[in-house]
Chain A
Amino acid sequence: DGGITQSPKYLFRKEGQNVTLSCEQNLNHDAMYWYRQDPGQGLRLIYYSQIVNDFQKGDIAEGYSVSREKKESFPLTVTSAQKNPTAFYLCASSIQHRDYGYTFGSGTRLTVV
């Protein structure tokens, strides 16, 4: 079955540590996205990529980094510069065309300990 796989499901980060969240898709979608979800707020876009080896900052990119070396993979690194990283992180993908909708992964919950 085609879909998006995010791992791990739960992740704990110590102060000052970088962590990487994995996102893999087998849908042959060109575009991939990372969103952050906090309680009581709408999803906020961190980074997106419309093509391999290219990505753009979203609304809240500070303290995060991404890479897009393969079409199938779009990992997100939460760096120590992100001062409040505790949140639910969602990865999504879409065909490179408006009006075709988005497919989401099941999310990674990151907690600072």
Chain B
Amino acid sequence: KQEVTQIPAALSVPEGENLVLNCSFTDSAIYNLQWFRQDPGKGLTSLLLIQSSQREQTSGRLNASLDKSSGRSTLYIAASQPGDSATYLCAVEIGDSNYQLIWGAGTKLIIKP
């Protein structure tokens, strides 16, 4: 059974630092991996989607990598800003159920001014 883990559960860093969020999954048979952002009490915003054949995707200050063989993905945030404070969730789309996403519990990120 596919399981997705995000460590750490919470992270606090000073503004301006570069940081890495981690996501690991137990079964490499995935279709894609997605990173989302969730602000308190709000819905999810899609950040990046990496197809299983890709190694990385970039959007602005965000870069997500995927290593299927090791079951890992990282979300790199460059030059962090207080507005980046949110919970970041990763999810993998698996192949044994139609359109089934398996979710990590998220990393709560706080950027201190």
- Taking beta carbons and an 8 Å cutoff, which residues of A are in contact with B? 4, 6, 31, 33, 40-45, 48, 50, 56, 88, 90, 92, 94, 98-99, 101-107, 109
Contacts and interface: CB of A to CB of B under 8 A. Distances in A.
Nearest to A9: B41
Main secondary structure of the interface of A (DSSP, over half): strand
Contact of A106 (B36, B42, B51, B101): B42
A33 B44 CA distance: 13
Given A40-B105, A50-B99, 5 more contacts: A42-B4, A45-B101, A103-B46, A104-B45, A106-B42
A98 B31 contact: yes
B103 A43 contact: yes
Nearest to A108: B43
Contacts of B44: 90, 92, 102, 104
- B interface, size bucket: 20 to 34
A99 B49 contact: yes
**Most chain B Cβ neighbours within 10 Å, of A41, A48, A90, A101:** A101
Nearest to B54: A99
A48 B41 CA distance: 23
Given A98-B31, A98-B32, A102-B34, A45 B100 contact: yes
B87 to A, nearest CB: 10
